[in-house]
Chain A
C-alpha cells in the first residue's frame, strides 16, 4: 500500500494570541519536501517583531493560565492528545512529506508516541504532590511548585511533532505559556496541529512562530521577557543560547548531540535464538529514521571473538533494508531531511574512506527512479575502523555506522567512553553481571540494556558531557519549568527574644 503527497494551502501564518497571523514584515519562505524536492507551502519568515508580539501575548496570558487548576490543564492536554489521535493518519502523512521519513515510522512511532506524551503529562500533573516538612515542633516548611512564566522552545526537524510533544506538554502542564519555534525545514505538522487545536487553550498560552534561526530563533532565545529556554539541537547553538540566557540569568535545558556506542558482548551469540535475532536488529537500528536521531547507535562495538560471525549477520540484515518511496508502507529507510544533510553525510563517508575505514556495505548516495530522483537518499552504510577516526567521533546524522572490535570489558568501556558526548548507549549481553555493571560504567544519560531506540514516556531522557542537561519525557521535566516556592511557617506564639 502506498500513500500520496497530502495537499496543503499555498501559505500559512504564525499562531499568536489564539489566531493565525501574517508575519509583520510580510515575508515568507518556501518549504519543500526532501522526498522529491516538490513545494509544500510558504511559511512566515518571521523576525524579532513577530517574536516580540508572541512573547507579549504569552506574558499577558501567564497569570491567568498559571492559576488554572491542574484538573483544567490536564483536561486540555488530554483534548490535544485526542485530536492528534483522531487525525493520526493525516499527521503521519504530513510528517512523512515534510521530513522524508517512511510512513511506516510516522504511523507507528512518531504520531502515537506524540499522543502518549500529551496524555502522560496530563496524568502526571494530576498525580503529583508538593511536600511539607515539620522542621521542629512549631516550624513547617511547605514546598509549592510555581510556573516560571513564559518559556521559549526551539525544536529540531528530525521528529517534528514528537519533539514538539516532548517540549510543550510538561511546560503547559506546569502552568507556563510558551512561544515555540519549529525548525524551518519542518514547519508543517506544528501548523496543522495548531489548526486543529486553535480553540483548545486560552489565547496567548501557546504561540508558534516560524522562521530562520538567526532572524527568529536568536531573538526568541535572547528575549528579556522570557523566563527559560529549552533547546534541542547542536552544540554550538547550545553554547550561544546559554550565553544569551546568562544575560537574563535565565535557566536553560539542552538536548544536544551524541555519538552513541552500541556494545555487543560475546554471549549474545551463545544461542541462535530470538534474542540473537533481536540483537542483530539492535545493531541495524543505526539506520532507523535515516540515522537522523541524536541518540543514533552510530558506533558499533563488537567483542572480537564473535566479530566475524556477528558482522556477517549485521551486514546481511543491512543489505535487506527496503529503501524506496517514503509513502510506501513497506519502506524502511526514506529520504534525508535536506540537501545540505545529504551532502554532509556523503562528505563524511569520503573522509572515512580517506582515513582508512573499510566500507563493509553501502558507501554512497542512493539514486531512486522517477520523481524520487530529485530527493535526498543515502545507502545504509557500515564503515569498519577505529575509534580515533573522525567518523567515529563526529555526529554524521545519517545512516552511517562505524564498527570496531574490543577484546574485554575494560576495552569496551574505554572505547565507549572515549567521546565528547554522553546522550545514549546500548549494551547487549546474556551475562547478568555485565547487564548491570557495564551500563553503570558508561557515561551517558540513557543506556538501553538489551534493547535500543525505545522512548516511552515516564523514562527520563537527557545527556551527560557535551550532550547537554535536563531530563525530558518524565515528570521530573516539569521541575525544569518551575520554581520551588518555600513557605516557612511558624506556629510558635513566642518571640525570638533578639529585640
Chain B
C-alpha cells in the first residue's frame, strides 16, 4: 500500500485537481459536462480565428492556452524542457486530424468522456468501450513493433513555437477581442471568466506535465505493460467528478437520453472513440498529453495539435461533427441526432487510414531490422 501511494500519489492528486477544476469551470459558466474538453476547446479556437464557420462553437478558450503555458513553465522549472522534433511529423499531423474527427463525432476527447461519465451520461460509457477497443488495437500494433521513428534534438526556438503561438493568441484575445469570432449562443457562448479559466488551466497544465497524466497512456500501459499507474489519474477524475456532481446536485441518474451536448447513436459514439483511442496510442498520448508535450518543447506534438485543429476545421466545414440529440418532440417522442452521411464516410475512411498507418510503420520496422 505504501509503495502504491509512493508510485501513484502525484497522478492521483493531478486527477483529483483536474476533476475539481472541471467542476469549478462548469459551475462558473462552461457547458455542462465540459469543464474541460481538449477537442471541443481546440475546435472553439479554430472557429474563433475563422477557420470554420459553425457559429455556436467559436471562442478563444483560455483553458487550451493555460494548459500549454502551464506545462511549459513546469517543464522549464523542472529542467524537462526538451526541444525535439522529426518523428514522422506529417503522419502525426494526419493522425491528429483523424483523432479530432473521431472526437467530434462522439462529442468529446477522452477527458470529456470521463467528465460525461461522471455526469451520468451512459453514452460516454459506450464511448469508453470504443476508446478501450481503439487503444487495444493500437497496443497490438505497438507490440508488433509500431513506432513513428525517433525524434532529434532541435533548436530551442522549435520547442517554443506552440507556447509562443498560445501566448500571442491570449494577448490578442485580451487586447483586441474584436479580431475574433465569438459565439452568441450555443456551447461557444458558455464560458467561465477568462482569467479564472486561464489560471485554473495553468495549474492543470503544470500538474499534468509533472505527473504525465494521459488517458490513452493509462489504458495502453494497463493493457500492454500491466502497469496501471497512469490509469489511476483517469479513475481519480471520474470518481471526483461523479461525487462532485452528486454533491452539487448536477447528477440525477445514469441515462442515455437528454444528456448535455451528447447524442445517443451508440454505433457512432463507439466508432468515434475507437478512432480516438487507436490514434492516440499511435501518437503516444491523448489530446491533453499532446498539449502538455508541445508545451514541454516537443515539436512533433505541436504539429499533432495543429493537425487536430485542421481536423476540427474539416469536421465543421464538411459537416462531420455531430450535434446533440434534439430530445423530446411535441408528441413526446425522443428524437436522436441524425449522424450525417459525411460523418459515417469519414469515420470509415479514418479507420482505414489508421490501419494503413499502423501496418506501414510496423512493416518499416521489420525492414529496418
Instruction: State yes or no: do A and B come from one complex.
Output: no
Taking Cβ atoms with an 8 Å cutoff, the residues of A that contact B are none
